[in-house]
A = this chain, B = another copy of it.
Amino acid sequence: MKKVRVFAPASIANMGCGFDIIGFTLDEVGDILEMTMTEGDGITIENESGVPLPEDIHKNVVTPVINKFLDIMDRKAHIDVKIVRKIYPGSGIGSSAASCAAAAYGMNALFGYPLSDEELVECAMEGENLASGGYHADNAAPAIMGGIVLIRGYEPLDLIKLPVPGNFYCAVIHPNIVVSTKEAREILPKDVPLHDAVRQWGNVGGLVAGLYSGDINLVGRAMKDVVAEPYRKKFIPGFEDLREKLLATGALAMNIAGSGPSVFALADKFGIASRAGKIMKEHFDSRGIGYESFVVKVSNNGAKILSED
């Protein structure tokens, strides 16, 4: 028998212009799993998190992650999973990815770390596919590797860890508006005008350049999404008003977190992020919409083992 307690952080996908290819992690918010490996075969899942999750293990995202891991390893084992802490599903900060990343990282720890980051992300993507019907790594990759991760390509998976500015804070708010990832994807057109696509990849280049050169204003200027945001912002009441207020208070940028409905604002000072968080709350208060919100540092830490026996 071997047992690990594993943490994987919350994450925000897209980072403005980086639709489907960039994501970053948030400090201290995340999922905790306890995973026990014994001889035999099969998976059991106990949910102690207090967050409602499907009882059927085949509907729990950790199941395909564990199966994929065992499949790559060509091994059998009985894995018992205890879900200790869980980000609320649909929060827009990579709830499913945190579970998937924790499960993949935990399996790797149980087996003595045989798999690469890319292979672990491939495992995690199986869970993401169960959650949203698509193989996306823009939450799972940062949740495993930490920091800001670029997915250069999917075939094969090519993951680049980008530099995280020393002072980089994030205010994020999850308004209680129901938008499924599926719905948020279906609203997008299948084709993008070439002119907009050029603007988007100019911004992706600028964002990556800003992160490497530590030019925080360039990061802010580049975090513009002209492809998905024009469609998805309709789900978020007063989106442009809110952005105007956040930029006026000194935030570098405000964008939709992943497919929404959460939004986030980045800042190079905690004080600005803190004010941004307050403005976000007032914005949804005034519209009678409930929310959860956080103000955290953008983290350089990914999944980690908290304890092992």
Say yes or no: A160-B191 contact (C-beta < 8 A), given A151-B202, A206-B152, A208-B208.
no
In the bound complex, do residue B188 and residue A191 qualify as a contact, i.e. CB atoms below 8 Å apart?
no
Q: How far is the CA of A188 from the CA of B221 in the complex (A)?
A: 28
Number of interface residues of A (CB under 8 A): 40
Answer yes or no: A21 CB below 8 A from chain B CBs: yes
Copies in the complex: 2
Query: Measured between C-beta atoms, what is the minimum distance from A182 to chain B in Å?
Result: 16
Interface-lining segment among A106-114, A120-128, A193-201: A193-201
Residue numbers in B under 8 Å from A17 (CB-CB): 201
Answer yes or no: A209 CB below 8 A from chain B CBs: yes
Q: Most chain-B Cβ atoms within 10 A of its Cβ — which of A21, A22, A200?
A: A21
Query: Measured between C-beta atoms, what is the minimum distance from A188 to chain B in Å?
Result: 7
Contact residue among B190, B197, B198, B204 (Cβ-Cβ distance under 8 Å from A205): B204
In the bound complex, do residue A194 and residue B194 qualify as a contact, i.e. CB atoms below 8 Å apart?
no
Contact residue among B189, B190, B191, B204 (Cβ-Cβ distance under 8 Å from A201): B204
Residue numbers in B under 8 Å from A222 (CB-CB): 152
Answer yes or no: A218 CB below 8 A from chain B CBs: yes
Interface positions, chain A 97-152, Cβ under 8 Å from B, are: 150-152
Contact residue among B19, B150, B189, B227 (Cβ-Cβ distance under 8 Å from A209): B150
Residue numbers in B under 8 Å from A152 (CB-CB): 202-203, 205-206, 209, 218, 221-222
In the bound complex, do residue B21 and residue A201 qualify as a contact, i.e. CB atoms below 8 Å apart?
yes
In the bound complex, do residue A150 and residue B192 qualify as a contact, i.e. CB atoms below 8 Å apart?
no
Query: Measured between C-beta atoms, what is the minimum distance from A135 to chain B in Å?
Result: 12
Q: Which 7 A-B pairs have the closest CB atoms?
A: A152-B206, A212-B212, A191-B191, A201-B201, A208-B208, A21-B202, A201-B204
**Chain A contact residues, CB within 8 Å of chain B:** 17-22, 150-154, 158, 160, 162, 188-194, 197-209, 212-213, 218, 221-222, 227
